[in-house]
Amino acid sequence: MIMLKLQKVTKSFNVGTVNEKCVLKQINLELNDGDFVTVIGGNGAGKSTMLNMIAGVYPMDSGIITLDGENVSLYPEYKRAQLIGRVFQDPMMGTAADMQIIENLAIAKRRGKKRTLHWGVTKGEKDEYYNAVKELGLGLEERLTSKVGLLSGGQRQALTLLMATLNKPKLLLLDEHTAALDPATSAKVLKLTQQIIEREHLTALMVTHNMKDAIDVGNRLIMMYDGHIIYDVRGEEKRNLTVADLLKKFEEASGEEFVNDRMLLG
C-alpha cells in the first residue's frame, strides 16, 4: 500500500526577483506503508524544502501530494499536523520549556482533536505517558512533573520524538533531528528513533548529514541534488552500500564534489 505520493512537486523561492531559485524540480516519490527512508544530499539540495512541502509549511508551485490516499495538497499546515509527526534539528523547537513533561505529552496527545471540557490529565492518560516515557529508557518517567526546560538536548529530542509519534502519525518527518547532539547522545536518539518506527510500524522520512547513519538505518535511501532525487536504493543493495559508494554516486550524478557543512562539522 502506498502511504505517501509526491507527483511533480515543484517549488521556487523569490519568484520574479534576481534571487529566483527553483529548489524542487518536479519531484516524484512514492513511499510504501512502513517504509523508513533516509535522505541525504549536499547543502541546498532541497531536502528540508521537500519535507516542508509535505508538511504544508509553504504552498507548492505545482504538483500533488497524496497521503494515505487523501489528496492533502491544499490542506493547511495545521490540518496536515494531525496526520504528520515532525522532529527538527533544534531541541528547543519541539517542546514547551516552561511546561512539565506530562503537560507537553498531554498537548501532543490532544493535537488536532476537538477540545473538551476535561482538559486535565486522567489517571489512564497518566499511566500511558508513564509507560511511554519509561520505554525511552532515560529515567524520565520519575520526573513527569519536571519542566522540560531542565532537560538536556538529547532528552528533549527523545521527548519530542515521543510526542510526534504518540498519536501514531501516518508519516514521520525527521530533519537532521540528531545533528545538534553530541555523538553518544545522537546515537542514543537514533536508536530510539529506530525502535519507535519499528514498534509502531511508521512510515518515515529522515534527513541526515551522516552517510553512515543513512546506510545503517531504514530500508531505503534517497539522495537529492539540485532539486532532484538522483539516487534511490533499497533492501539488500542499500545494506551493502559504503560511504565511498555514496560519494561516488553523488559525483557521477552531479559532476561535483559532495559538500555539506553539517557533514564536515559532524
Does residue 258 contact residue 42 with C-beta atoms inside 8 Å? yes
Which residues is 10 bridged to in the sheet? 62
For Mg ion, the closer of residues 155 and 175 by Cβ is: 175
For ligand ATP, the closer of residues 11 and 238 by Cβ is: 11
For ligand ATP, the closer of residues 43 and 240 by Cβ is: 43
- Interface with Mg ion includes 48 (CB under 5 A)? yes
In this chain, which stretch among 30-38, 43-51, 139-147, 180-188 interacts with Mg ion, using CB under 5 A? 43-51
Find the binding residues for ligand ATP in span 30-89 (CB under 6 A): 41, 43-49
71 interface partner picked from Mg ion, ligand ATP, none, CB below 5 to 8 A per type: none
Would you give the distance in Å from CA 226 to the centre of its chain?
20
Nearest to 119 by CA among 128, 127, 107: 107
85 interface partner picked from ligand ATP, Mg ion, none, CB below 5 to 8 A per type: none
Distance CA 86, CA 24 (A): 20
**Side chain identity, residue 135:** E
Query: Residue for cell digits 494531525?
Result: 82
For Mg ion, the closer of residues 234 and 262 by Cβ is: 262
Does residue 162 contact residue 202 with C-beta atoms inside 8 Å? no
Does residue 43 contact residue 261 with C-beta atoms inside 8 Å? yes
220 interface partner picked from Mg ion, ligand ATP, none, CB below 5 to 8 A per type: none
Distance CA 81, CA 63 (A): 20
Total residues binding ligand ATP (CB under 6 A): 13
Q: Which of 3, 6, 9, 23 binds ligand ATP (CB under 6 A)?
A: 23
Q: Provide the binding-site residues for ligand ATP, judged by CB under 6 A.
A: 13-14, 21, 23, 41, 43-49, 260
